[in-house]
């Protein structure tokens, strides 16, 4: 575990002022119990700041150049070069400012208190401490979150997002397809996972995923034909949480610089991302989530066809989420169910030709 870099006096006094505690006299930080895996994140701390008018807390997120990412050495040379030369690791504060200015009613971002560079390879963000975050629970909360994500996507698209426009559309999804699926997941499926117990990889599911792998470029091409908008990029349930100030509202956290992606892209993580219960609630809830996202888009003046959102949602999630079952160490039964759902829906939508038999 690395140490939290000390803030300079300007940063510390800015944080103290935002917390309303007067002149800062002391601070004490401790690492958060969180498994940091992102290429551009070095650590997270909760910091108690003492001023002459009281105390307050903040969360410090340390951004780092991906050349210091421990996983980097395990990637193919081309992928290493992409992360070192092009990965947008340092722009999170600017993204927060851009998004917070256009959030629809009922949605906000976590508050940015201050940021500071530490040399050229690290940058700290001092953020509002949301406390013990309450994640979304019931179907109605996920449906509401989907509507808000749709409204936000439409607003950012209509108003423009200079940050997102710096990259090719679907840049992140393309990297996932090339570097993770084709270089990592498919070799596992064609090798070690070809003949394993059904509770690890059901035979039919393995055949289905290898079939999808043969058509991966076609899927990616069809996703690229869907209208693209700015996105959150990782709208999993632990990043789309209940607002402690207003339980009827939603807070977005862990916003990073993400290229424009297809309509429905953020629904993939909301429905199939880390610890999401949505698919387990029933396919009717998934349908309601998609409908709500479309309502959010239309409510901000964007004309869309539901079928286009479904194609962007399922096509993106098929690439990003279905193959997670190959390396899952937890929630494997849920990952198996999700992968089967995604393959079947992709066939229904014409994103992948039918295999005989499918599933």
Q: Assess if residue 356 is contained within a domain.
A: no
Q: What confidence tier does 311 reach under pLDDT thresholds 50, 70, 90? A: very high
pLDDT at site 357: 62
- Any idea what the CATH number is for the domain that residue 43 is in? 3.30.200
Of 40, 37, 43, the closest CA to residue 66 belongs to 40
pLDDT at site 328: 84
Of 38, 263, 254, 274, the closest CA to residue 136 belongs to 274
Q: Assess if residue 359 is contained within a domain.
A: no
Residues 115 and 196 in one domain: no
Of 122, 170, 334, 151, the closest CA to residue 249 belongs to 151
Q: Assess if residue 26 is contained within a domain.
A: yes
Of 180, 261, 188, the closest CA to residue 216 belongs to 180
Average pLDDT score over residue span 45-62: 96
Residues 99 and 156 in one domain: no
Domain count, the chain: 2
Least confident of 71-85, 100-114, 119-133: 71-85
Structure tokens at 347: 């066939």
Residues 109 and 173 in one domain: no
pLDDT at site 7: 96
Residues 147 and 114 in one domain: no
Q: Assess if residue 217 is contained within a domain.
A: yes
pLDDT at site 154: 97
Characterize 132-153 residue by residue with b for buried, 16 or more Cβ atoms within 10 angstroms of its Cβ, and e for exposed: eeeebeebebbbbbbbbbbbbb
DSSP state of 226: S
Q: What confidence tier does 132 reach under pLDDT thresholds 50, 70, 90? A: confident
Residues 298 and 198 in one domain: yes
- pLDDT tens string 153-210: 999 999 999 999 888 999 999 989 998 999 899 999 999 998 888 888 999 999 999 9
Task: Give residue for tokens 């409204």.
Answer: 151
Tell me the chain's radius of gyration from C-alpha atoms. Answer: 21
pLDDT at site 1: 66
Tell me the residue range of the domain where 314 lies: 139-348
């Amino acid at each position: 575990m690395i140490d939290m870099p000390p803030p300079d006096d300007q940063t510390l006094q800015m944080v103290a002022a935002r917390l309303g505690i007067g002149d800062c006299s002391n601070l004490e930080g401790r690492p958060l119990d969180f498994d940091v895996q992102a290429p551009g994140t070095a650590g997270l701390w909760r910091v108690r700041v003492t001023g002459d008018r009281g105390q307050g807390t903040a969360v410090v997120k340390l951004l780092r150049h991906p050349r210091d990412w421990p996983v980097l050495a395990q990637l193919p040379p081309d992928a290493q070069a992409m992360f070192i030369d092009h990965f947008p690791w340092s722009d999170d504060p600017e993204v927060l400012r851009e998004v917070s200015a256009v959030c629809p009613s009922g949605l906000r971002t976590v508050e940015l208190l201050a940021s500071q560079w530490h040399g050229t390879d690290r940058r700290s963000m001092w953020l509002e401490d949301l406390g013990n975050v309450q994640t979304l629970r019931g179907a109605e909360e996920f449906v509401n979150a989907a509507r808000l994500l749709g409204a936000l996507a439409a607003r950012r698209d209509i108003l423009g997002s200079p940050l997102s426009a710096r990259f090719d559309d679907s840049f992140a999804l393309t990297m996932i397809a090339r570097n993770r699926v084709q270089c990592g997941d498919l070799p596992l499926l064609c090798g070690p996972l070809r003949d394993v117990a059904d509770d690890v990889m059901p035979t039919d599911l393995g055949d289905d995923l290898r079939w999808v792998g043969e058509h991966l470029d076609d899927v990616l091409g069809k996703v690229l034909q869907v209208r693209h908008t700015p996105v959150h990029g990782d709208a999993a349930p632990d990043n789309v949480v209940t607002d402690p100030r207003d339980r009827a509202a939603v807070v977005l956290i862990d916003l990073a610089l993400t290229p424009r992606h297809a309509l429905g892209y953020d629904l993939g993580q909301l429905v199939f991302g880390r610890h999401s219960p949505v698919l387990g609630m029933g396919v009717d809830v998934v349908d309601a989530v998609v409908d709500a996202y479309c309502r959010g888009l239309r409510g901000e003046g964007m004309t869309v066809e539901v079928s286009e959102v479904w194609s962007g949602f399922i096509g993106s999630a098929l690439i990003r989420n279905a193959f997670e079952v190959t390396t899952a160490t937890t929630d494997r039964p849920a990952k198996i169910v999700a992968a089967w759902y995604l393959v079947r829906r992709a066939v229904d939508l014409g994103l992948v030709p039918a295999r005989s038999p499918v599933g």
